[in-house]
Chains A and B, each alone.
Chain A
Amino acid sequence: AQSVTQLDSHVSVSEGTPVLLRCNYSSSYSPSLFWYVQHPNKGLQLLLKYTSAATLVKGINGFEAEFKKSETSFHLTKPSAHMSDAAEYFCASRGSTLGRLYFGRGTQLTVWP
């Protein structure tokens, strides 16, 4: 069985400071992993994905994530937060090609000026 745990339901940072959103996965094999962002009243937008190539994945808007098999983690980072990064972020895993996604409960990111 697969599951995804996002360790923080809320994260607050000041503009210009680093962002860390934590995600752990549970799977009997190496899944594909994704980070999506959702702005208010919008659909989900893909930030980045890991599919067993490079373990450090770069995404849009300066975000990146590192796949660590030994820690079963896929944390999302950004060196410097911007006000426009304020949104809800979802980590997800997928087992089989074109299979359904298993989502974490989401992390609400607040960015203070």
Chain B
Amino acid sequence: GAGVSQSPSNKVTEKGKDVELRCDPISGHTALYWYRQSLGQGLEFLIYFQGNSAPDKSGLPSDRFSAERTGGSVSTLTIQRTQQEDSAVYLCATASRREGDTQYFGPGTRLTVL
């Protein structure tokens, strides 16, 4: 079946602009995670959605970062007033108890802030 998809695959933006990154989960997966991968920081957890529960936002680095998940399916990660240090690959993963809680990752969105 189809895996996790993310769009766009690459995004180049100017400092100070807002960006939206999209994640389409595997159908039926109730859990959705955003991670960030950068050279200096490795793989960092950002935010986690599980069903209708309040999301775990403990990894968001600043209030410029927000995410939502509409209808328990598609998720959008928004970064406002982008900074150069936001340049990274943003990875989405989804999971379900039916599949043993394994997190399946999308290909990522490479964000470059000029």
Contact = CB atoms under 8 A, between A and B. Distances in A.
A and B co-occur in one complex: yes
Interface of A: 32, 34, 36, 42-46, 49, 51, 90, 94, 97-106
Contacts of A43: 4, 91, 105-108
Nearest to B48: A100
Contacts of A106: 42-43
Interface string B85-101: 00000010101010011
Contacts, number: 51
Nearest to B51: A98
Please name the 6 residue pairs, one residue from A and one from B, whose CB atoms are nearest each other, closest first. A103-B43, A44-B105, A43-B105, A43-B107, A98-B31, A105-B42
Interface in B36-62: 42-43, 45, 48, 50, 56, 59
A49 B56 contact: no
Contacts of B100: 49, 51
A51 B59 CA distance: 24
Main secondary structure of the interface of B (DSSP, over half): strand
B102 interface: yes
Given A43-B91, A90-B43, A100 B59 contact: yes
Contacts of B48: 99-100
Main secondary structure of the interface of A (DSSP, over half): loop
B83 interface: no
B65 interface: no
Contacts of A32: 101
B35 to A, nearest CB: 8
A98 B105 contact: no
Contacts of A90: 43
B51 to A, nearest CB: 9
Given A43-B105, A43-B108, A46-B104, A100 B33 contact: yes
